[in-house]
Amino acid sequence: MTSASTSSSSAGVKRKALSIDDKLRIIKLYDEKIGVFNKQQIADQLGLPSSSLRTILKNRKEIEKNAFSGSTKRQKVRNGKNEQLENILLEWFRQARTLNLAVNGPVLTEKANEIAKRLNITDFGGSNGWLDRFRKRHGIVYRKICGEADAVDDNSIKSWKETILPNLLKDYSPEDIYNADEFGLFFKLMPDKSLVMKDETCHGGKLSKDRLTVLTCSNWSGTDKLKLLVIGKSKSPRCFKNVHTLPCDYKAQNRAWMTGSLIIEWVQQLNCKFVKQKRNVLLFVDNCPAHPKEITLTNIKLVFFPPNATSKLQPLDQGVIKVLKQKYRKKLVQRYLLEMESVTDAEIPKINVLDAIHYVSIAWDEIKPEVIKNCFNKAYFDNVSQEDPHVLDSDEFRDFEEVYPGYTSIDDQLITNEALELEEIINQATVNDEPDEPSDDEEEYIPPLPSIASTVQSISTLRQALTATDGSENMLLYLGRVENFLLNKYKNNVLKQPTITTFFNPRK
């Protein structure tokens, strides 16, 4: 009886072959319903066996990851025999598509054979059968290329702001409309060095050792400034020793450039955030080789600005990045001037990547919502409200620009991404994951971890300075929270390992 009942129950729910697209929708619906229904109820509503739902949720990360690397219509994710070769070929194909290059079957096969030769793979034939399987695995279709994209004329911009953009915005609120944009930063640059660096800037900054790429992203209302993504050259800079917390995300790339794989990883994490928040958003990005267009997202609608038009149409380009760089460089100058009072010029410590990360993150945090809203309006996102020029042109930065002319804009033309040569794609895919060893000119003084006594003394000094300063009530409260946090960390660990190393390092 029990057996028959079980058999009948199992037969009542017919198993379905689900594509990745189907599984993504199931994950999205599950996130929306889990607060109201349990897993069994959700499975019943979806017409799925509960075991199938559990399997999908268990493999969630892998499903979401593969949604970015190929066709979501296929039912199973199968890696090819030569997975590394195919990953390299897929990255090359994405960049070729971004550059509007014509790619067909023979071109893909020829490029695959070239990659196999460079990877010393001797048993790869590049047959028609392999090519067909590769295309199906990654959802590749051949499309007719309609010529190179010309520079955007005034009519194209007019069409964008009067027709295309309003149609895109009509179903979203300002809180759900985002723009992401990268910029290059000579993070050590001081005003007296700016003229020396100018020629290097004009060549794209490829030879600069002291550069970072920073990805910014915010919504139209300015209420959600996402954590910055900073891209440096070294996976493990010396200044990261003993560091376990950063105010931003940090990634490494041998030229400190944005790449397709980095932006896909970033967008994937952002999509997961919006899934959990049960939000559907609009994300505007520019056209560049590092921004793959064929990405499947459940909660983000990705929109690309017309080619060669970002200088007029991209909101963060209308002043937000300028203000961010002004704030960052002002902090560098202030630090230099303060340290000059106590040490000689030769003794002033150089800015390192960790310093830059802290300063640029603080500068980003200081940007007010009205600055961001103003720049979205300037980029035609609001045809009624006009931008207020006084929001960006403050006396504070006007004076700074007069004292240090050209200092803020010296790296405006610094390259942040570019289509990579095949050799570079192969090098990135085959590079050892061990941390980079810094070169001699990256050697820098790394201060030892402070003792608990010196930490408490520093907090006491800060409190004394704040109490002698008008209007510092809130800062005193924040300092008290910092003190409590550090002392509690110390107190919780001191019995297990009574050294300052435990105080600052998480238990392993």
Q: Output b/e per residue, 158-184; b: 16+ Cβ within 10 A.
A: eebbeeebeebbeebeeebbbbbbbbb
Question: Are 354 and 239 in contact, with CB atoms under 8 Å apart?
Answer: yes
Where would I find the beta strands (DSSP E) of 209-320?
211-219, 229-232, 249-252, 281-285, 300-304
CA dist 316 and 220 (Å) reads 10
For the domain spanning 83-138, the CATH number is 1.10.10.60
Question: Are 287 and 304 in contact, with CB atoms under 8 Å apart?
Answer: yes
DSSP β-bridge partners for residue 285: 304
DSSP β-bridge partners for residue 232: 252
Q: Output b/e per residue, 274-303; b: 16+ Cβ within 10 A.
A: bbeeeebbbbbbbbbbbbbebbbbbbbebb
Sheet holding 249-252, edge to edge: 249-252, 229-232, 211-219, 177-186, 281-285, 300-304
CA dist 91 and 423 (Å) reads 12
CA dist 116 and 126 (Å) reads 9
Taking the CA atoms of residue 384, residue 385, residue 387 and residue 390 in that order, the dihedral angle to the nearest 10 degrees is 150
DSSP for residue 407: T
Shortest CA distance to 184 belongs to which of 162, 210, 163, 166? 210
Q: Is 6 exposed, middle or buried (0-12, 13-18, 19+ CB in 10 A)?
A: exposed
For the domain spanning 2-66, the CATH number is 1.10.10
Residue 302: strand, helix, or coil: strand
Residue 14: strand, helix, or coil: coil
End-to-end CA distance of the chain: 53
CA dist 90 and 96 (Å) reads 10
Q: Which pLDDT score, from 0 to 100, does residue 13 have?
A: 45
Q: How is domain 170-403 classified at the CATH fold level?
A: Nucleotidyltransferase; domain 5 (3.30.420)
Q: Which amino acid is at 443?
A: E
Q: Which pLDDT score, from 0 to 100, does residue 275 have?
A: 94
Question: Are 30 and 45 in contact, with CB atoms under 8 Å apart?
Answer: no
Would you list the DSSP string of 199-221? HHHHTTTTT-SSEEEEEEEEETT
Shortest CA distance to 85 belongs to which of 115, 125, 128? 115
Shortest CA distance to 114 belongs to which of 422, 424, 430? 422
Question: Are 181 and 263 in contact, with CB atoms under 8 Å apart?
Answer: no
Question: Are 187 and 212 in contact, with CB atoms under 8 Å apart?
Answer: yes
Q: Which pLDDT score, from 0 to 100, does residue 494 have?
A: 56
Which residue numbers in the chain have pLDDT < 50? 1-13, 68-75, 144-150, 194-207, 432-442, 495, 497-504, 506-508
Shortest CA distance to 63 belongs to which of 26, 113, 37, 92? 26
Shortest CA distance to 298 belongs to which of 70, 26, 45, 50? 26
User: Crossing angle for the helix pair 260-277 and 83-98, nearest 10 degrees?
Assistant: 90
CA dist 23 and 72 (Å) reads 9
Shortest CA distance to 363 belongs to which of 402, 406, 320, 399? 320
Name the pairing type of β-strands 281-285 and 300-304.
parallel
Residue 183: strand, helix, or coil: strand
Question: Are 138 and 70 in contact, with CB atoms under 8 Å apart?
Answer: yes
Residue 87: strand, helix, or coil: helix
Helix, strand, coil content of the chain in percent (nearest 5) = 50, 5, 40
List Cβ neighbours of 451 (8 Å cut-off, separation of 6 or more).
500
CA dist 217 and 177 (Å) reads 10
Among positive and negative, which fits the CA dihedral 449, 450, 455, 461? negative
